[in-house]
Amino acid sequence: MNFSTKLLHWYKYNHRDLPWRNTQNPYLIWISEIILQQTRVNQGYQYYLRFIEKFPDVQTLAKAEEEDVLKLWQGLGYYSRARNIYYAAQQIISDFNGVFPSDYHDIIKLKGIGNYSASAIASFAFKQCYPVIDGNVLRVISRIYGISTPIDIDKGKKEVLSILKTLIDEQNPDIFNQAIMELGAMVCLPQNPKCETCPLNALCFATSNKIMHDFPVKTKKINQRSRFFYYLVIRLTYNNTEFVYLNKRTNNDIWKNMYDFPLIESEKEMDVAEDISFEIEKILKSNNYNLKKVSRMYRHQLTHQAISAYFFDIKITTPLAETTNFIMVPSSEINIYPIPKLVDNYLKDNCV
C-alpha cells in the first residue's frame, strides 16, 4: 500500500467523531477551523457548539453585534479570530450575495482566512484538491521525509507543500487532509510519537533512524515581551447601586474591542507606593479615593507576551469627570461585556 492508501485506511477505523466532520456546510467548517486554530479540540468543542447555536448561519452572524460575538469567544483567546469572523460574515453578505464562496481563490479573500483555512474549507466542503498545512501536518511530513529545512520559514513550508501535492488523494482530498491532521494530533505527537502503531512507520525516515525528536527542525525562537498591568477597579456607590468603571480597548493591541478596567501599563515592574499612586492620581484627577486592597499578582501568558497584572480595588465617592474614556456600569452587569480571561480570573476570585 502507498502513503495515501495506508493513511486513509487508518483514518477510516481510527478517527474521532467530531461534529464538524459530519457536514459539508462551508459555514460550519469555517467556524470550526477558526476555533480550532491555536485551541485544543477538547476546549474548542463546547465553544463550537455554543457558537453555531447562537449564530447558525452567516446571515445571523452578519446581523449580530460585534460585542455579542466577542462575548461568546471569551476565554478562547486570540480574539482577532472572532473579530475577523464577524467582518468576513459581512463580506460574504456584501461581496458574495450571502452565499459562502466555493472557490479557493474567493475563500482566501475573506478576512482572517489564510492558506490553511482556505485549503481546509475548499477541500472539506467542496472537495477541491488543496493540501492543508498546519503544525500537525508539518511535523508528520518532516519526520517521514527527514526534512532538514526549518519548517518555520517559507522554504520549509514550500518543501512540505510540494511533497503533499504529490501525495494528496485527488478523489478524496477532504479525507486525505482530515487524515493527515488526525495522524499528527493522535499518533505523531510532538513529544512521544506512537511510532509502533503508526500506519506510516514503514515509510518514516525519522523512526527508522530513531531520530523522531530531531524533527521538525525549527529556527525561530519566540521573543517574549514582558508587560506589567496595573488595573484600577474603581467602584462608586450611587443611588444604592454599586458601579465600576470599564475601559473599552480600542487601540491596535491585544483584546481589541473587549473591556477591561482602567489600566496603567509599564514594561517594568513599578513601585506601588510611589509610581502607581502618582499614576492613579493622574487618572482620578481631583477625586478623593480610598485604596482598599491590592490583589495578588495574576500572570497571563500569550504567545509572544508575558503579562503580570495587579488589581487595585479603589473606592471613590463622586463620579469621574465625563471627559474620561471609561464607562460606568453596575458591578452586577460586568459579565454582560466581553472581557479578557485575565480580568475574568480576577473577578472569579473577587466578588466585584
Contacts with ligand SF4, residue ranges (CB under 6 A): 140, 143-144, 187-188, 193-195, 198, 200-201, 204, 206-207, 212
Task: Indicate the residue among 117 and 142 with the shorter CB distance to ligand SF4.
Answer: 142
Task: Indicate the residue among 91 and 201 with the shorter CB distance to ligand SF4.
Answer: 201
Residue type (1 letter), 227: R
In the DSSP assignment, the letter for residue 18 is -
CB of 215 to ligand SF4, least distance (A): 8
33 is catalytic: yes
CB of 4 to ligand SF4, least distance (A): 14
CB of 222 to ligand SF4, least distance (A): 24
Q: Measuring CA to CA, which residue among 225, 260, 244, 250 is closest to residue 320?
A: 244
- Please, is 30 exposed, middle or buried when counting C-beta atoms within 10 Å of its C-beta (0-12, 13-18, 19+)? buried
CB of 213 to ligand SF4, least distance (A): 9
Q: Please give the backbone phi and psi of residue 287, each rounded to the nearest 5 degrees, phi first.
A: -65, 135
CB of 196 to ligand SF4, least distance (A): 8
Please state, as a whole number, how many other Cβ atoms lie within 10 Å of the Cβ of residue 15. 17
Cβ atoms of 149 and 155 closer than 8 Å: yes
Task: Indicate the residue among 36 and 185 with the shorter CB distance to ligand SF4.
Answer: 185
Task: Indicate the residue among 26 and 199 with the shorter CB distance to ligand SF4.
Answer: 199
How far apart (Å, rounded) are the C-alpha atoms in residues 87 and 261?
A: 26
Residue 145: which residues within 8 A CB-CB, separation 6 or more?
Answer: 163, 205
Cβ atoms of 241 and 330 closer than 8 Å: yes
Query: C-alpha cell of 99?
Result: 452565499
Task: Indicate the residue among 193 and 338 with the shorter CB distance to ligand SF4.
Answer: 193
How far apart (Å, rounded) are the C-alpha atoms in residues 172 and 123?
A: 9
CB of 175 to ligand SF4, least distance (A): 18
* Active-site option among 33, 159, 182, 279: 33
Task: Indicate the residue among 179 and 206 with the shorter CB distance to ligand SF4.
Answer: 206
Residue 254: which residues within 8 A CB-CB, separation 6 or more?
Answer: 79, 302, 305, 340
| DSSP-assigned beta bridge partners for residue 266 | 228
Q: Measuring CA to CA, which residue among 219, 218, 220, 207 is closest to residue 143?
A: 207
Query: C-alpha cell of 123?
Result: 477541500
Catalytic residues: 33
